[in-house]
A and B are shown apart, each in its own frame.
Chain A
Amino acid sequence: MTYKNIAQKVADQIQHTGVKPVSKWMFRLKNFAFWSLVVTFLLVGSVSLAIIIFLMVTNDWDLYSRLHAAFIFQTIPYFWMISFIVFIAFGEHYYRRTILGHRQRLIKIIAVYFVVTGICGTALFMGGIGQKIEQLIAQNIPAYHLVMYDKDSIWSQPEKGLLAGTINAVGVDTFEVLDLQNHTWTVEKSNAFIRSRVNLAVGEKIKILGRKANQNLFIADEVRPWEGLGRKQMQ
């Protein structure tokens, strides 16, 4: 066969087999699927960012003075940071596979993704969506605790002045707390700063900064909600 015959051969093949071009709806569907993936990854990236902001803002940064640098490395939300980067990478990959996606430079696509996810992620955080999703995942996916820092163990160090648990009973100057290891403490609160979001009532989960007086008595300097805004709230 010489090239002069290829056109004729292909034309004959199309005629004889009666093949037709694939329907335009198939391609529209394919295009829609790609754009859906681009938008989905952008949204999931935004949710990851909202959770990162939530975890960073609500982190008890002031514990640094008690627990030093190890505390910072322990509490950085690596899982969500990696997830944020991975979803940006996926989004970039699928955007490139759209009809004109290849024309844009990698750095430009990533910059646009950062800006858009930055805006959406901040909006989701401000709307409380980041917090809700994070708590939903924490409550329903047991494996989540394996990839996040162990907040329970940080707040189960009464000898370092860190205690957390659920209020069992409330008195005038004291209240009773069942800590995360199921040990009951009497907490002296007469000189404690109690943050405005704390509702000192039975069933409330709280964090307490202070000092251990004996095996059952803890002197509170400050009482915080379990899911609070840390130092920021105090200001």
Chain B
Amino acid sequence: MHQPCTDKSDLDLVKLSIQNSDWYFCLLKRYESKLLRYIASISGLRTEESEDILQEVFIKTYYHLNEYDPRLRFSSWIYRIAHNETISAIRKKKVRPQIFLEKDDFERLADEFDLVKEVDQKLTTDLITKIFNAMDLKYREALSLRFLDDKEYLEIADILQKPVSTVGNLIARGKRIFESEYRKFLQLTPYDL
């Protein structure tokens, strides 16, 4: 990194970046992997395409640094920009977004949803992916932000630009749909999956 970034808050870095663009590199590094993973998880686009979206997100964020309002967390604000850019890219490509879960994601979801881990892990990972991909984007994104990105309800509300109560409903309903589908799939033989 160009400057010592770690002791600076996001807000400090925003203020410094407005004065000197070198500081912006700290913010870029801080959010690079998180946002790439988030974009990939809700879009299901190939890595190169997700990287293109991320690049757009970072440029757009830089242009709009003066618009950042500290009443929102910076992370919520930049995730919101990433959300909007990703949704826009998905619409342009007219594809149904697919989610790709990594091993860490599977572990977290298995814990959260209390899934039966003794079943073959590969099979269960495929099953979770399949159920997630069948779900509506709004539920999938809410669950992804809550359980894969560990976001609080208020942060998710700020990212998705919905009331907190709506976010609560999306997560609760998303969980119910997921659990119900999971139970249905468990009654099938592995050859059906």
B4 to chain A, nearest CB (A): 16
Residue in A3, A24, A104, A105 whose CB lies within 8 Å of B36 = A3
A129 to chain B, nearest CB (A): 35
Contact yes or no, A21 B65, CB < 8 A: yes
- In the complex, A14 has a CB within 8 A of chain B: yes
Contact yes or no, A10 B72, CB < 8 A: no
Contact yes or no, A7 B163, CB < 8 A: no
**Complexed CA–CA distance, A99 and B59 (Å):** 21
State the main secondary structure of chain A at its contact with B.
helix
If A7-B29, A9-B55, A21-B18 touch, does A99 touch B66 (CB 8 Å cutoff)? no
- In the complex, A146 has a CB within 8 A of chain B: no
Q: Which of B20-28, B170-178, B185-193 contacts A (4 or more CB under 8 A)?
A: B20-28
Residues of A within 8 A of B55 (CB): 6, 9-10
Residues of A within 8 A of B24 (CB): 11, 14
- In the complex, A103 has a CB within 8 A of chain B: yes
State the main secondary structure of chain B at its contact with A.
helix
Task: Determine the residue in chain A with the shortest Cβ distance to B165.
Answer: A105
Total A residues in contact with B, Cβ cutoff 8 Å: 30
Residues of A within 8 A of B66 (CB): 21-24, 26-27
Which size bracket describes the interface of B in this complex? Answer: 35 or more
Residues of B within 8 A of A26 (CB): 66
If A6-B58, A10-B59, A22-B64 touch, does A102 touch B162 (CB 8 Å cutoff)? yes
Q: Which of B1-48 contact A (CB under 8 A)?
A: 17-18, 21-22, 24-25, 28-29, 32-33, 36, 47-48
Contact yes or no, B63 A99, CB < 8 A: no
Contact yes or no, A1 B51, CB < 8 A: yes
- In the complex, B62 has a CB within 8 A of chain A: yes
A22 to chain B, nearest CB (A): 5
Contact yes or no, B69 A99, CB < 8 A: yes
Task: Determine the residue in chain B with the shortest Cβ distance to A22.
Answer: B63
Task: Determine the residue in chain A with the shortest Cβ distance to B50.
Answer: A3
B51 to chain A, nearest CB (A): 6
**Complexed CA–CA distance, A24 and B66 (Å):** 5
Contact yes or no, B72 A99, CB < 8 A: yes
If A27-B67, A102-B162 touch, does A6 touch B28 (CB 8 Å cutoff)? yes
- In the complex, A70 has a CB within 8 A of chain B: no
Residues of A within 8 A of B29 (CB): 7
- In the complex, B157 has a CB within 8 A of chain A: yes
**Complexed CA–CA distance, A107 and B33 (Å):** 38
**Complexed CA–CA distance, A21 and B164 (Å):** 31
**Complexed CA–CA distance, A105 and B157 (Å):** 11
6 A-B contacts (beta carbon < 8 Å): A6-B32, A9-B55, A14-B21, A21-B65, A103-B164, A105-B166
- Residues of chain A touching chain B, judged by Cβ–Cβ distance below 8 Å, are 1-4, 6-11, 13-15, 19-24, 26-27, 30, 96, 99-100, 102-106
Given contact pairs A6-B28, A27-B67, A105-B166, a sample of 12 additional A-B residue pairs in the complex whose CB atoms are under 8 Å apart: A3-B32, A7-B25, A9-B55, A10-B58, A11-B25, A13-B59, A14-B21, A14-B62, A22-B64, A24-B66, A26-B66, A99-B71
